[in-house]
Amino acid sequence: MLGSAVALGSCSAPCNGHIEASVLYFKQAPQGQLVYADVVNSPGLGSQQTLMRDDKEYGTFPHVIIINDPEMKFKGRRTVCFDEFAKQPAPADIDLREKDIPRISIVK
């Protein structure tokens, strides 16, 4: 049993930032990808959202954010940890169901 726990822990990168977000899913962007995540320990950053994926309800989460990841450095991660971020404006062609989801880019 202990071996299984160690193997699972090694699959995810260590959290080395003060804000932690659990990855919900990734979506292709014009450059890189968008990371849909639920903020774990800084609830004021995200907003409660019912997410749709492939026109089906994916689930309702309490603190959703969208992280712009042009370099795809978070690909395959289960968590994203960071300290500094910059808020980004919503794109002009945004899906109206996502208009209230905060969009950020991670600085550090």
For 21-54, what is each residue's pLDDT tens digit? 999 999 999 899 999 999 999 989 999 999 988 8
Rounded mean pLDDT, 79-88: 94
Looking at residue 2, its pLDDT comes to 40
* 29 DSSP assignment: -
**What's the token pair of residue 5?**
């726990």
All structural domains of the chain with their residue ranges: 2-106
Residue 7: partners with Cβ closer than 8 Å, 6 or more residues away: none
